[in-house]
């Protein structure tokens, strides 16, 4: 090979390697576009699911908040005529006379 043929061969190799690089970049871009498409579809699906769950939550109404045991007070009169107050909180009860 002469000097001109070598330069031509070298230029062809550069063009081929650049073509391979361009093809690899195009493949990478295509793969990234596919991933982006999948991610945006997942985002849209999740957003729709959140809307569904919020609607179900709103339809359900207000959830009761547990605020602990509340005292229950009852009054009663014994056979001898005295009035009593019975207070029960949870499973503990106390009784006291009421005047």
For 68-79, how does the pLDDT look when each residue is reduced to its tens digit (9 = 90+)? Answer: 888 999 999 999
> Could you tell me where the DSSP H helices lie in 1-99?
3-60
- Whether the pLDDT of residue 24 is over 90: the answer is yes
**CA 70 to the chain's CA centroid:** 35
Q: Which two tokens stand for residue 26?
A: 């195009």
- Whether the pLDDT of residue 46 is over 90: the answer is yes
- Whether the pLDDT of residue 86 is over 60: the answer is yes
Of 9-18, 32-41, 64-73, the least confident: 9-18
- Whether the pLDDT of residue 7 is over 70: the answer is no
- Whether the pLDDT of residue 2 is over 60: the answer is no
Q: Answer yes or no: are the C-beta atoms of 86 and 94 closer than 8 Å.
A: yes
């Amino acid at each position: 090979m002469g000097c001109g043929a070598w330069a031509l061969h070298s230029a062809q190799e550069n063009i081929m390697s650049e073509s391979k690089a361009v093809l690899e970049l195009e493949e990478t871009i295509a793969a990234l576009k596919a991933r982006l498409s999948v991610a945006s579809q997942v985002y849209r699906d999740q957003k729709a699911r959140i809307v569904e769950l919020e609607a179900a939550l709103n339809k359900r109404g207000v959830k009761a908040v547990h605020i602990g045991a509340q005292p229950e007070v009852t009054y009663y009169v014994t056979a001898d005529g005295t009035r009593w107050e019975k207070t029960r909180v949870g499973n503990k009860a106390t009784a006291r006379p009421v005047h």
